[in-house]
Structure 1
Amino acid sequence: MGICGSVESREIHDAEDCNENVIFLQGNKVSNGALDFCSLYSKQGSKGLNQDAAILHQGYGVEDGALCGVFDGHGKNGHVVSKLVCNHLPSLLLTQKSSLSRINAAVADDDSLQNMVGIDDESMPSKSCHIWKEACISAFKVMDKEIKLQENLDCSCSGTTAVVAIRQGEDLIIANLGDSRAILGTMTKNEVTAVQLTTDLKPGLPCEAERIKNCNGRVAALKQEPHIQRVWLPHEDTPGLAMSRAFGDFVLKDHGIIAIPNVYYHRLTSNDQFIILATDGVWDVLSNDQVAAIVWAAKSEQAAARVVVEAATTAWRKKYPTAKVDDCSVVCLFLQKK
């Protein structure tokens, strides 16, 4: 049976989507859920309300398909935005995919398909994957507009990241917005190696900084945090957003912050073992290889996400003993039975 809601509250979110193949995580303290070959786990940090949300949907799109995603909210209403995106983005993606298919959007030239390759240069995405790419871009735009139209919800300085992985048979499409991250665990010789599937979209990236500056936004770090580049309004020292793309954050939408995802493609092979999505609370303290090793050593698929979060929480206390621990959320989707 799937799990909807949080440990503290068992209300149903989007009941039509809550079936035995779907897990939502949206809670304040510790939330977890598991299906046959996957697991989700989210733990509140010490900054206050847990603003993370996560979803895993088996049987998505096609019978052997799957969708998983993590969403890291920020700002006063970040928890509302991440929950909204978690609940509605999966159905928006399917709607956009269906619409594009009907108008025969599969006709794409080789250059547009090549531009989608972000993992390796050997496997070319199919035309169906091109439709998924366009569906991701379109659905993310629609989602951002829907957030802006929400009554009684101020998202001028609130928003969320999003990283979504869509498996359709051997095709893997990943759409990324912000600084949550997706990695792939793949066998090389006798060990599992981590392959980063996404690029963390932060203001420190030259291409991201250029877009922001061209829109009169400012990119600068605080003196007490020289390693963290932030986005500021042209003539005000606010809001100081530490990512370059996000849903919401409408005060910065005219200054280079966009809700257009980077979309990547990977052709799955028999060596590929699992996909891991996690919010930056995990990646701030654990490397890709550390996370992959923790998942591979987990006792079961159902325990994998929890042990990663517990390892990240422990690492936070050791690495930053005086800092507040960030919320940590993880989705593990296994591609082969352990």
Structure 2
Amino acid sequence: MGHLSAMFKLARSLSMKKSKNFCGDGDNGGGGGREAAKAMEKEAKKNELILRSSGCVNVAGSNNLASLFSKRGEKGVNQDCFIVWEEFGCQEDMTFCGIFDGHGPWGHFVAKKVRESLPSHLLCNWQEALAAAESSSVDYLLDEIDLGSDKKLQRFNMWKHCYLKTCAAVDQELEQHRRIDSFHSGTTALTIVRQASEMGFHTFDKTLS
């Protein structure tokens, strides 16, 4: 467990509310972690660490450079959107990237909604996973993370668990959204989290019915 201490320091440094509904809806008595993730996102926007339109983002003092470009085709409205978030989760060596390909009559709205929701949900679930692993009090996480396994495998299992929870939460949000018809429209999302020299990716598909 000692080799995860660097990640656990982040969990200790964050002012996280102890709640079973840590990443839930703030209106239902929980969601303290989601609010913290949203605050991080707001601060990242202020510091120009998030790119959501064609252009480049290059953090001062960093060797990373991200460039994005999108152009509308001849079929009508552009249903594609994207995001790059440097220093994801206040980690200097972490970057989140996402491409969202909408389809169906409301595909552009679904794609933008997923782009807005997925990063903060993922960040919240990641913080929760770090705190749970540190306390060793959550059985579901211990099932995912073998304390005697390889360090990279542990990180992979942690991110896998976070992504599965995130996709389920975003899917539920879309189904409950009153202004978006996510039954006849959808989006495919390809997202990547890069930390130092390691990289993991996940695909989320809200399929066209």
**TM norm structure 2:** 0.66
Contact 1:147-1:248 within 8 A present in 2 as well:
no
For residues 1-338 of structure 1, the aligned pairs below 5 Å read 16=42, 18-19=45-46, 20-25=48-53, 32-36=54-58, 37-61=65-89, 62-104=91-133, 105=141, 108-109=145-146, 125-177=152-204, 246-247=205-206, 249=208, 251=209
What per-residue deviation string (whole Å, max 9, x for no partner) do you get for residues 17-50 of structure 1?
523110013xxxxxx1101211010000111000
Contact 1:81-1:248 within 8 A present in 2 as well:
no
Paired AA for residue 108 in structure 1? I
SS in 2 for 1:154: coil
Distance 1:145 1:33 in 2: 32
Paired AA for residue 85 in structure 1? V
Contact 2:188-2:207 within 8 A present in 1 as well:
no
- Cα drift, residue 87 of structure 1: 1.3
What per-residue deviation string (whole Å, max 9, x for no partner) do you get for residues 150-193 of structure 1?
1122111100000001011222110023xxxxxxxxxxxxxxxx
Unaligned 5+ runs, structure 2: 1-38, 59-64, 134-140
- Cα drift, residue 128 of structure 1: 2.5
**TM norm structure 1:** 0.42
Change (3 A) 1:124 1:99: closer
> Of Structure 1 and Structure 2, which has the larger fraction of its residues in helix?
2
Distance 1:147 1:154 in 2: 8
- Cα drift, residue 248 of structure 1: 5.3
Paired AA for residue 40 in structure 1? L
Distance 1:156 1:78 in 2: 10
Contact 2:81-2:111 within 8 A present in 1 as well:
yes
Contact 2:80-2:100 within 8 A present in 1 as well:
yes
Number of positions where the alignment pairs a residue of Structure 1 with one of Structure 2: 152
- Cα drift, residue 64 of structure 1: 1.3
Unaligned 5+ runs, structure 1: 1-13, 26-31, 114-122, 178-245, 252-338
Distance 2:182 2:97 in 1: 25
SS in 1 for 2:88: coil
> Of Structure 1 and Structure 2, which has the larger fraction of its residues in strand?
1
Distance 1:42 1:136 in 2: 26
Q: Which has the larger radius of gyration?
A: 1
Runs of 4+ aligned structure 1 residues displaced above 6 Å come to none
SS in 2 for 1:142: helix
Paired AA for residue 170 in structure 1? S
SS in 2 for 1:42: coil
Paired AA for residue 81 in structure 2? A
Q: Percentage identity across aligned positions?
A: 30
SS in 2 for 1:125: helix
Distance 2:87 2:156 in 1: 17
